[in-house]
Amino acid sequence: MRLDNWQLTEDVTDFLARAGNFLRSRPALHNTPLTDIEKLRTCAAKAHGGQATVFGRLEAGGEIRAIFYRAPTGRLTLTPLSAAQAVTLVGHLAGLGHYLSSVVADHDTAVAFAEAWRQRTGAATASFWRTHLYRLGTLTAPQPQPQGRGRRVGEDEQENVVRWCREFCVDASESVSIAAIDADSWADTRFADKDFTFWEASDGAPVSMAGSTSAVGGMVRVDPVYTPAPFRGRGYAGAVTVEVSRAALAAGATDVVLFADPANPTSNALYQRIGYVHVTDFAGYRFSCEEPERGPGSAGVMSRAISRGVRPKSSIARLQPSDRHISPYPRGLSSSTGT
The secondary structure of the chain, three-state, reads: CEECCEEEECCHHHHHHHHHHHHHHCCCCCHHHHHHHHHHHHHCCCCHHHCCCEEEEEEECCEEEEEEEECCCCEEEECCCCHHHHHHHHHHHHHCCCCCCEEEEEHHHHHHHHHHHHHHHCCEEEEEEEEEEEEECCCCCCCCCCCCEEEECCHHHHHHHHHHHHHHHHHHCCHHHHHHHHCCCHHHCCCCCCEEEEEECCCCCEEEEEEECCCECCEEEEEEEECCHHHCCCCHHHHHHHHHHHHHHHCCCCEEEEEECCCCHHHHHHHHHCCEEEEEEEEEEEEECCCCCCCCCCCCHHHHHHHHCCCCCCCCCCCCCCCCCCCCCCCCCCCEECC
DSSP bridge pairs for 102: 75, 286
Say how far apart CA 45 and CA 68 lie, in whole Å. Answer: 17
Question: Within its chain, how far is the Cα of 189 from the centroid?
Answer: 12
pLDDT on residue 42: 87
DSSP bridge pairs for 69: 55, 77
State the CB neighbour count (10 A cutoff) for residue 206. 21
State the CB neighbour count (10 A cutoff) for residue 298. 16
pLDDT on residue 5: 86
Full pLDDT tens readout for the chain, 339 residues = 444 589 999 999 999 999 999 999 999 999 999 999 999 998 764 444 457 899 999 998 889 999 999 999 999 999 999 999 999 999 999 999 999 999 999 999 999 999 999 999 999 999 999 999 999 999 999 889 999 999 999 989 999 999 999 999 999 889 999 999 999 999 989 999 999 999 999 999 999 999 999 999 999 999 999 999 999 999 999 999 999 999 999 999 999 999 999 999 999 999 999 999 999 999 999 999 654 444 333 333 344 334 333 333 333 233 333 333 334 443 333 466 666
58 phi, psi to nearest 5 deg: -100, 120
The answer to whether 298 and 99 have CB atoms below 8 angstroms apart is: no
The answer to whether 23 and 34 have CB atoms below 8 angstroms apart is: yes
pLDDT on residue 44: 61
Beta-strand relationship, 102-106 and 276-288: antiparallel
